[in-house]
Amino acid sequence: MTAASSLTITDLPYGGRGIGRLDGKVCFVPGVLPGETVRVKITRDRGDFLEAEPLEILTASPHRVKPTCPLASSLGLRSFSEGGCPGCCYQHADYEEEVRIKNNQLGALLARWAPTSGRRQNPEGAYEALPAPGGRSPPSLLPPVAAPSPLGYRNKMALHAQADGKEMRLGYFMADNTTVLDVPACPLAAAPLNEILKERRGDPSFFRTLRDGMTVTFRWTEQDGAQWWRNRASEKDVWLVESSVIGPLSVPRNSFYQMNPAMADRLVTAVMERLKADLPDTVIDLYCGVGVFALAAATLGIPKVLGIDLDGPGIQAAEYNARKLGLKNTHWKSATANEGILDVELDHPNQATLIVDPPRSGLGRKLVQEILKHTPRRLLYISCAPDTMVRDAAWLKEGGYSIHTSQLFDLFPRTAHFESLTEFKRVD
């Protein structure tokens, strides 16, 4: 094996690194696109596979573009060996191609879940699972929902302070998860956030207040404008107000809210459309946060809606939001998802829908087992990590559920991440 080799990128699996083959081994390469031929330097031999850094694009994809951000780790700007910002792994692809790649990734992960005899490439370039002989058809992958803009969408930035001698850096962690890359501006952030960041960075007294390991959060809403605070905000601080497709929603500063409001509205609308297509009499919303999906369900007139989340201030906000929206068909409980579901009683499981929006770790086997005991007719699974969603899908399949549809929502353009909405139905 030579220090520098050339290879052709054949695929771009979930995570954003391209793959090719060298000396019979799979080789992972960041900053590349499918179909490109690249010269690479091997950085690590993992035994079963290799990791490499791109040195030169020998044959470029027609979808390759110059990255917007000067901190991006991509050829032509900051090199990977220099340690650029690892967050935007698709800065070098046009946005249409990024969405196609991500949708292909979701389809490939779903194909693992369904019994198949292989996969085929459709005219749009995405891979579809082929049904196994005698097996059921693979789940239906609906057209992806792209963001209205791949830049300027984030309503929140959490930057880390790191002292290096007399210098204080404020920015994102690099690939080693230890070193902070100083970030003067982030093109993914809403313009008001970059404006207040520039203002703070221009004030020498601001940096004197920072300490090594401190986090500075910058947050923006249409009603409140740009705000910032060090570490955790005080629980006594006034709640922020987010605009949403179901009306204004109050959000405690330390509580979760989607960082792409425009795409969050599209996701909420899609959940409402799924519910309206077959109205249940009961909706249980696990990981409900400030109540977004539960409140959306309640606006449809569903008789019984229960939201469960560990975040106490978030549940308080959900109760407040329900009152402000005039919704009397909601109930709320502060508990972990595993604890909260133990007390759930479904009078008519065949008329119940469970909505889950877990963190990247997914549901886990224990919670899936509890869900299976309640046998709701339908499960709407909102996921920010399709790999753990597909893992959970395998356990749900063992309990008698099948995937009806799945759809990608690109809430995180230019990054490796995306959301998906997958509808599971109990097999009668």
Residue 393 has pLDDT above 60, yes or no: yes
What is the pLDDT at residue 140? Answer: 87
At 131 the pLDDT is 44
**pLDDT for 118 beyond 50:** no
| pLDDT band at residue 79 under the 50/70/90 scheme | low
* pLDDT tens sequence across 344-372: 999 899 999 999 999 999 999 999 999 99
Residue 195 tokens read as: 């404006």
Higher pLDDT, 103 or 129: 103
Known active-site residue 384: yes
Of 69, 85, 88, 384, catalytic? 384
- List, in order of start, the domains of the chain with CATH numbers: 4-93 (2.40.50.140), 96-131 (no CATH), 156-231 (no CATH), 256-426 (3.40.50.150)
Whole-angstrom Cα distance, residue 381 to residue 355? Answer: 6
The pTM of this model reads: 0.92
